[in-house]
Amino acid sequence: MALGLFAILFAVSGIISIVGLLALYVTRSPKQKKGIFCFLALWGLLIAALSASSLPSNDQAGRLFAWIIGLLGVIGLAVYLKSSSKMLYIVSYLLITISAAGGILNLFF
């Protein structure tokens, strides 16, 4: 029973990440993009926390890697909120994409 719930959790988290990333790149409205962006930054942190806490306590390198992937989302959010140029927005989108997609891949594998 519990493994079925974990499978559902993994599937839902993967779907949320895919839909969120697609919405980030497809949406035209700057206000909606900012909301989606902030959601994905928090989502990346949640996935990093899930990934780090799912590893055994003696796997410090794996935990550190999971937190570094989550930290990329925080850096991307800071760059997004502090920047005004188009190039820095693109860099922040890439950081959030790496954070969300990398976190899910780290969680799955």
- Under 8 Å CB-to-CB from 31, ≥6 apart: which residues? none
- Other Cβ atoms less than 10 A from the Cβ of 72: the count is 22
Question: Residue 1 above 80 pLDDT?
Answer: no
Identify the band that residue 89 occupies on the pLDDT scale cut at 50, 70 and 90.
very high
Q: What is the pLDDT of residues 18-49, one digit of tens each?
A: 999 999 999 999 899 999 999 999 999 999 99
Total-model pTM: 0.89
With helix as H, strand as E and coil as C, how does 30-87 read?
HHHHHHHHHHHHHHHHHHHHHHHHCCCCCCHHHHHHHHHHHHHHHHHHHHHHHCCCHH
Q: What is the pLDDT of residues 6-18, one digit of tens each?
A: 889 889 999 999 9
**Phi and psi of 27, rounded to 5°?**
-65, 140
Q: What is d(CA 85, CA 66) in angstroms, rounded to the nearest whole number? A: 30
The pLDDT value recorded for residue 34 is: 92
User: CA angle, corner 104, sides to 93 and 65, nearest 5?
Assistant: 85
Identify the band that residue 109 occupies on the pLDDT scale cut at 50, 70 and 90.
confident
